Structure 1
């Protein structure tokens, strides 16, 4: 498999401003593999320390802040070689080791010659705690599930990936590419981007094993819920998690606490929901009241939608069978477009600095799926699950905010086309969305 995050990590290695790296991402997204692969490719050797397997290593960080002594102790205890500038030092499963995280400050200030990368399955939770943290002394990098592009490469469809990656115009895509890409996207909706699931499909074509892999990952997440410091929150986290398919199945996908449990109130469940957000297991998308800059200034904090970290996990949690593989476009229309919205959001989050929002009004009801900020432009985005693309909400949005709109975007199963200020992007091109939007905005200047 090829993970594109390796390119970002190489830039980190070569930067003269490099600090110790903290790699964040959900459990089983491939953080350990990618760090070891990065060390194998770009360093003379790798020194790997797992603080879950070897808890005794934690003591080296508890007794001293002298990084030279820490490194010497690690070398002696593990027998591994550490050479400044030539060794990648990996600290894994550091979420329960505040002293290890805090030591990054001293590595940054006193020993920048050591190349250090930290990872952990619930690191987002640990970093959200108000504890001693090396502010400004670490580089952060987010690692998400495999993108559709990465799936294509893993599936042996390098030619399709190269075609998508080299598109420079907004001309319709020939059927010789369009039809196979639609079929590959259906596969991706089924497998998602968790590396184990992708491998079992792309290498073994084993649907049952792939289903079991996703089931096991969901079970592992459920076990992690019990790690909330307040035991009373555990069932609440589980109830919110299991309500996500129901939340997304409704026409209006605004999160409702009563879907979690009849009579549930926000103040009873908001801590549990925040735990899921901090763990990167769900993405919280606020309603925007107007298309202004910065987007965050117009958040309606009482209204939001939540999506899952991976479209394959959403499909598995929703109990949608992989037999939809061979059922035309049914997979896209099943579930009222929830899978497509989740997939598009995953892709946009990888490309944007600012988390997307959404826009809606009640009387009469309209909802634009996402509002995105690209530099100083605010762009409304709708996601249609098939080729039926009447975009009522985008029209209403333009009526209401026309003077603030240079481009509107619709994802669907229709071909690539720029029609005045409306850009239609085929769903399988989501990973190229921002590049295509830039081309469209230049044409419309």
Structure 2
């Protein structure tokens, strides 16, 4: 089993008087994570799977008296797929307010459902964590850098979902199944989705545009939808942990692009499955964009693991000057350019360096990506 970096962090928050919420897409390992935590408490744990109809019924609009009778003398209560329970936020609030000395951990496959119904009831009563697909940082705890390098291309092509990593002989079948059977499960149950086929078409368009600025107007025209609907769908896809957005960085140059944004996938295996392309990198015209997506996604995971307060951007001007990726931490900037081949000549924009004087600049390629992803510190 792959050791998840979140586990010791979550365990350090146990029994501090707050509900623990774990968000994440389906199949990223939320159930495995909480059951790993469960092992430390033996018979003192109650596991409630909300995919089961009777469990949902028990937890729906339950009174504190009923909850106490359910949990008995258990100390750790695990509520899996909590978004399936109506008014789960109020139920969790009762746990927090009325049942002391009990720790509740609730998982949810989609933040757009769970967060909407728990935020107000649990104000000041919760710790929130996001579990992503496995990171290279997590893999580096059990693999050497040599082994990671050997597996790099496979990880870029087939992604970082736990089952894909643990069953390499079935990787293509499994990533297709995850994409087909699980990817849309939560999204399509969302009441605002009237044309589910348009969501799939939108994802395929986004998959074809990674590394490029995305125009909502162009997407709307292609899909025969209005711009507001496209914006809503993209917001839902982001809250379901399928994609994430980078906004443009802009401070003082008139030529800076300010209205476009870039959209990437949390997992490049999902992206490749959407476009049905599992070719090796040397046979792919999208190799550079795929490498860029993979690195930015891995950096996002790293920042989540480190609980780093980071703002992330890209930068481009109307004269086609650009920076692939920018991080801002406490007002200090770092600028990164990505190229898969160390032989390809690339440099950080002199215009950007002159105007913003970043604290760090780096050209990231396949020979030094371990520094960018802090793999040398393990």
- Matching residue of 1:192: 159
**TM-score of the aligned structures, taking structure 2 as reference length:** 0.86
- Residue 384 of structure 1 is aligned with which of 330, 339, 351? 339
- Matching residue of 2:8: 7
1:141-156, aligned counterparts within 5 Å? Answer: 141-153=129-141
Are 1:147 and 1:193, in contact at CA under 8 Å, matched by a contact in 2? yes
1:178-257, aligned counterparts within 5 Å? Answer: 181-201=148-168, 206=169, 209-219=170-180, 220-248=182-210, 252-257=212-217
- Residue 359 of structure 1 is aligned with which of 315, 334, 358? 315
Q: Residue 280 of structure 1: CA displacement?
A: 1.5
Deviation string for 1:1-26 (max 9, x for gaps)?
Answer: 22121121121126xx4411000001
Secondary structure in 1 matching 2:214:
coil
2-side partners of 1:217 and 1:272: how far apart? Answer: 20
Q: What stretches of structure 2 of length at least 5 have no aligned partner?
A: none
2-side partners of 1:132 and 1:151: how far apart? Answer: 36
- Matching residue of 1:105: 93
Deviation string for 1:54-113 (max 9, x for gaps)?
Answer: 34543444142x2x43131x24xxxxx6433xxx21111111324222222232233341
- Residue 104 of structure 2 is aligned with which of 102, 116, 133? 116
- Matching residue of 2:30: 31
Secondary structure in 1 matching 2:349:
helix
Q: Does residue 375 of the first structure (1) align with residue 330 of the second (2)?
A: yes
Secondary structure in 2 matching 1:247:
coil
Change beyond 3 A, Cα 1:382–1:245: same
- Residue 374 of structure 2 is aligned with which of 426, 432, 435? 432
Are 2:336 and 2:362, in contact at CA under 8 Å, matched by a contact in 1? yes
Change beyond 3 A, Cα 1:24–1:299: farther
More helix by share: 1
| Structure label with greater radius of gyration | 1
Q: Residue 354 of structure 1: CA displacement?
A: 2.7
Change beyond 3 A, Cα 1:253–1:393: farther
Are 1:247 and 1:255, in contact at CA under 8 Å, matched by a contact in 2? no
Are 1:281 and 1:308, in contact at CA under 8 Å, matched by a contact in 2? yes
1:53-64, aligned counterparts within 5 Å? Answer: 53-64=52-63
2-side partners of 1:408 and 1:13: how far apart? Answer: 39
2-side partners of 1:290 and 1:388: how far apart? Answer: 33
1:259-338, aligned counterparts within 5 Å? Answer: 259=219, 261-262=221-222, 265-290=226-251, 300=258, 302-321=259-278, 324=280, 330=282, 334-338=285-289
Q: Residue 255 of structure 1: CA displacement?
A: 4.5
The number of aligned residues is 368
The structure whose RCO (Cα within 8 Å, separation 6+) is larger is 2
2-side partners of 1:401 and 1:267: how far apart? Answer: 34
**TM-score of the aligned structures, taking structure 1 as reference length:** 0.74
Deviation string for 1:134-162 (max 9, x for gaps)?
Answer: 11111101101101133345xx62x43xx
1-side partners of 2:252 and 2:44: how far apart? Answer: 50
Secondary structure in 1 matching 2:247:
strand
- Matching residue of 2:218: 258
1-side partners of 2:270 and 2:329: how far apart? Answer: 28
1-side partners of 2:344 and 2:354: how far apart? Answer: 18
Q: Residue 28 of structure 1: CA displacement?
A: 0.6
Q: What stretches of structure 1 of length at least 5 have no aligned partner?
A: 76-80, 161-176, 293-297, 415-425, 437-445
2-side partners of 1:291 and 1:33: how far apart? Answer: 48
2-side partners of 1:82 and 1:335: how far apart? Answer: 56
Are 1:244 and 1:306, in contact at CA under 8 Å, matched by a contact in 2? yes
- Matching residue of 1:91: 79
Q: Residue 307 of structure 1: CA displacement?
A: 0.8
Secondary structure in 2 matching 1:27:
coil
